[in-house]
Amino acid sequence: CITTPTPCITTPTPCITTPTPCITTPAPCTTTPPPCETTPEPCVTTPCATAEILWLYDDDYDEDSDESDASNVRVHTSNSDCVNLSDGTYLVDRRFCHRFYVCLNGRVERLNCPLGFWFDRDLKSCRPRREVTNCR
C-alpha cells in the first residue's frame, strides 16, 4: 500500500488593505448680511435767530416817544446801548429787517431771523416777511 501524503500547501490570506476614503466636506459658506437699517436724519428746528436777509428799517421811530407804549422798540446805535437796560430788552436794526438785538448782562447780542423772516418790532418776534408791516 502506498500512501501518498497530502501535499502541504498553505495558501496565504491575501494582504489587501482598503484605505479609508479621503473625502473632506467643507463647511457651508453662508454669509448673513447685516440687517438693512436706515437711520433718519434728525429733525432740526432752527430758532428765530439764524439766517441772513437784507432789508431796511422803518425810520419813523421817535426815540423821545413814551417807552411804555408796547409798540416802541429801541434802535441799536452802538455796543453800549444795553449798559443800563434790563436783560431781554429788544433793539431793532435801522438797516436790516432780519436783524435785531437783545440785551444780556449789559451787552448787546446781535440775532438774525431765519431765512424769509423779518423781525416784527410790535410783536418782538420773527415772522414771515410778508406779514411784517413795520419794516421796509
- Greatest distance between any 2 Cα atoms in the chain: 167
Question: Domains (ranges, CATH) in the chain?
Answer: 45-61+69-136 (2.170.140)
For the chain, give the number of residues.
136
Q: Quick one: average pLDDT of 43-69?
A: 40
pLDDT at 130: 96
Residues 110, 115: Cα–Cα separation, whole Å: 16
DSSP single-letter state for residue 57: B
Cell of residue 105, nine digits = 448782562
Chain segment 108-125, per-residue pLDDT in tens: 999 999 999 999 999 999
Return the C-alpha cell found at 88: 431781554
76 pLDDT more than 70: yes
Per-residue pLDDT band for 44 (boundaries 50, 70, 90) equals: low
- The DSSP secondary-structure symbol of 135 reads B
Measured CA distances, 84 to 16, 30, 46, 80 (Å): 113, 75, 30, 9
pLDDT value of residue 63: 41
- The answer to whether residues 82 and 104 touch, using CB atoms and an 8 Å cutoff, is yes
Q: What are phi and psi of 6, to 5 degrees?
A: -70, 130
State the pTM of this model.
0.48
Q: Cell 490570506, residue?
A: 13
